[in-house]
Amino acid sequence: KGTDLGDWIKQVAQADTKKLLDGVRTLQQKELLTASDQLVSLIEQIEIILEADNEKDRTELIDNFKIQANNCLFNAQTAFNAVGPDVVEEQIRSVQVAVSVLISTECCHKSSSLKKSLRKKIEQEVVKLLKLDRIQ
């Protein structure tokens, strides 16, 4: 809270929440619906983490956030594979959710090696998107 990164995350969370909620209404696939619901919850938690009064509380919130982010990422990746190639829109949405989750976890990664790993995971998701027939 009060930092450039914290303010940016708050702005992104507020701007994207409406878009995410609109997109969630069009989803049909169970894992993707679950991942989308989890993503909205994660975005709402960012402000709570930024406003935590002490380091112990913030650490506990971040640890819980990481677990929930991993669950959401798993559901988004499962959804990508579960919908099959005939439902490209849902594959695109699952990659969108996965990348959004990964970006939201950036605040939890302090070391350069963790940030490099995060960039690699985002790259892998984008490559999946670019390999879709509709995108090529």
Note whether 115 and 81 are within 8 A (CB): no
Tell me which DSSP letter residue 26 carries. T
SS3 content of the chain, % helix, strand, coil (to 5): 80, 0, 20
Span 63-98, pLDDT tens digits: 999 999 999 999 999 988 887 666 788 888 899 999
Mean pLDDT, all residues of the chain = 81
Residue type, 132: L
pTM: 0.72
**11-15, 37-41, 43-47: which has the minimum mean pLDDT?**
11-15
